[in-house]
Structure 1
């Protein structure tokens, strides 16, 4: 089990591993994100699927025949489901140039994600120190995630697991997992009210 003190210090990169946009937003707001990771802006509710995708080095991600329109996420965007890995894309397929089931904007979206995947895998293969952040996941699923990351990371890495629960302040979770620091923070208004708590978590971390 790692403490917050154990995961402080320099990192070559810090990546969000879901389960929604929140880690990516907090990394951006705290100046800890130089470029977008492959799933920063997706809904990824099923962590075992993400672990499998990492073991597969993203093979089969965003195959056109696996994409299905779920609903219209906003006036401008559709929510598209990648059935292979349970990915929900609600920031990429615009209403003005996609006409489900025909996703005419697909080629540009695929190019963008292929670029992010290549950069992600290159970074993990560089041997640098990497931090991964995942929200709202079980101990068992985080353990599987660590096992998957061991297969593709060529340097030291840590996982910061942040679960939103009915607590008053940040509390440590005693998961006793290698590579993992697990905490819980208040589950009220998670998109706005916890910014200073994320600042506390990130204190002493910086990119090199």
Structure 2
């Protein structure tokens, strides 16, 4: 699938990591009407992400699987890993609240996760056309990810995979039926913005009548 085939109307959008960048880009273009499950997390392992989709997010970020691994952002936040899915929460728990604060916040965090998971599963069941955006994945990884989404999503979907590149837009023309692979810059500057503007030109959010 190439970029021109990605254009069109969608009634749902989701970031699939690997960090906050895809969610921030979606938000900039008015394509993030709600929070996704892993918008603000680190999901560097595509295998872990595929497992998460195949398991339909079952027990995601369950306290039994969560481990504080360290701190992030100059020591302001805890890095908390779900060891089963190999995904890190890096924005949800403040070190200023110490470990006791982490434990106090767990019930609220779990409620937030449950709400976001239920919404995504509902969208996967009822939306007519979804767009997922993933930063960092090889062709083989994208193929496996596409297969996991095909099992999860009932109707149409597209997957946009972006890998970092120079200050130009390079369409990889991957021979995958639902996935567009691009190479482009992932900085926040005017030149990168112009390239991303072209990517999301003629991609529109149409709110579903659910």
Using the size of structure 2 for normalisation, the TM-score is: 0.91
* Cα pair distance change 1:104/1:158, threshold 3 Å: same
Residue of structure 1 in register with 2:3 after alignment = 4
Tell me, in whole angstroms, the C-alpha distance in 2 between the residues paired with 1:101 and 1:64: 14
* Cα pair distance change 1:72/1:192, threshold 3 Å: farther
Cα displacement (A) at 1:191: 4.0
Per-residue CA deviation, residues 160-192 of structure 1 (Å, 9 max, x unaligned), is 111003x330101132112011110136xx244
Superposed counterparts of 1:1-208, under 5 Å: 2-74=1-73, 75-99=75-99, 103-165=103-165, 167-186=166-185, 190-192=187-189, 194-208=192-206
SS in 1 for 2:80: strand
Which protein is richer in helix relative to its size? 2
Tell me, in whole angstroms, the C-alpha distance in 1 between the residues paired with 2:46 and 2:185: 21
2:17/2:43 contact within 8 Å kept: yes
2:41/2:91 contact within 8 Å kept: yes
> Which runs of 5 or more structure 1 residues have no equivalent in the other structure?
none
Cα displacement (A) at 1:52: 1.1
How many residue pairs get aligned? The number is 204
1:98/1:104 contact within 8 Å kept: no
SS in 2 for 1:183: strand
Per-residue CA deviation, residues 113-169 of structure 1 (Å, 9 max, x unaligned), is 11000000100100410011001111111111111111111111111111003x330
Tell me, in whole angstroms, the C-alpha distance in 1 between the residues paired with 2:24 and 2:198: 15
Using the size of structure 1 for normalisation, the TM-score is: 0.92
Cα displacement (A) at 1:98: 4.1
